[in-house]
Structure 1
Amino acid sequence: MTREGRIGDITDFSDGAVSRQASARIAVATPGPGFTEITEVVAAFLARSGITQGLLTVFCRHTSASLTIQENADPDVRTDLMTALDGLAPRHGAYVHGSEGPDDMPAHIRTMVTDAGLAVPVVGGRIGLGTWQGIYLIEHRDRPHRREVLLHVAGQ
């Protein structure tokens, strides 16, 4: 006997037509390694776009910083995530690439594991995040940087 999963009710939010799009570039100043929340600036961009249903793309233009959607209620989560990333890609590992310093190759590994881009639904003019979710740029290098993030939304 096979057990099948169940899918809950499906709510249709729109007819799927893409009639508008908007894009922007934001600069994010990081204090060094760690998570910098960008949810509010992304939400402000979305509000200015006037798009109420669609898909929002957030893209980091760097190979040593990345993006994630993560819990924004308890900062201990972000502390533990940085500890996990430190264990996965330690600063002073036996890497071949080291011309940009001991923090560069681990930063590339951490970016590969997290990601450079996010796709988030837009529902009712708001970012379709869960209650405790936020959008973060993760700085993987040891010193502060100015990072560029591209935003694009398409929808109605």
Structure 2
Amino acid sequence: MRQAQTTLTIDTPGQGLHECTRAVLDWVASTRIETGLLTLFVRHTSASLLIQENAAPAARRDLERYFARIAPESSGYEHDDEGPDDMPAHLRSALTATSLSIPVASARPVLGTWQGIYLFEHRAAPHRRELALHLIGD
């Protein structure tokens, strides 16, 4: 049994779904671990991770609009230390996931045909986000 870990840095231009599949695939391949379990963890409270449709951009736009409706920016939140998008970002993060587990086979994450790995940035301003990756296997 072997293990590998790294941190990926993702620069986001602001709110939205930002695909990071290629960076994850490249890192997994570099480990030479053929079979195992990959864990991804975003080290922030106002961003999250999703496995989502990566072929139709409309699916991503619909998801972004949905989260804007259910956790809108407004002045009605008590927690607004960093502006009107602060608390909505935390709510959106709470409704999604901060970690993912993906099986690895043949030195590749076992993703479906139309699945991509996304960092979901919930803040309006650009951010530098860190993803901790850990792979265990043979």
Q: 1:21 — aligned with what?
A: 3
- Over aligned residue pairs, what C-alpha RMSD do you find? 0.7
Q: Which amino acid aligns with 2:136?
A: A
Of 128, 136, 146, 2:118 maps to 136
Q: Summarize the alignment of residues 2-151 of structure 1 with structure 2, pairs less than 5 Å apart.
A: 19-92=1-74, 94-151=76-133
Counterpart-to-counterpart distance in 1, 2:83 and 2:124 = 10
Local SS of the residue matching 1:29: strand
Q: Which amino acid aligns with 2:7?
A: R
Counterpart-to-counterpart distance in 2, 1:35 and 1:111 = 12
Counterpart-to-counterpart distance in 1, 2:24 and 2:50 = 13
Q: Which amino acid aligns with 1:21?
A: Q
User: After TM superposition, what 4+ stretches of structure 1 lie above 4 angstroms from structure 2?
Assistant: none
Name whichever structure is richer in strand by fraction: 2
Structure showing greater radius of gyration is 1
In structure 1, list runs of 5 or more residues that go unmatched.
Answer: 1-18
Counterpart-to-counterpart distance in 2, 1:38 and 1:137 = 7
Q: Which amino acid aligns with 1:82?
A: E
Q: Which has the higher contact order (CA 8 A, sep 6+)?
A: 2
Counterpart-to-counterpart distance in 2, 1:111 and 1:105 = 10
Q: TM-score, normalised by structure 1?
A: 0.87
- Seq. identity, %: 52
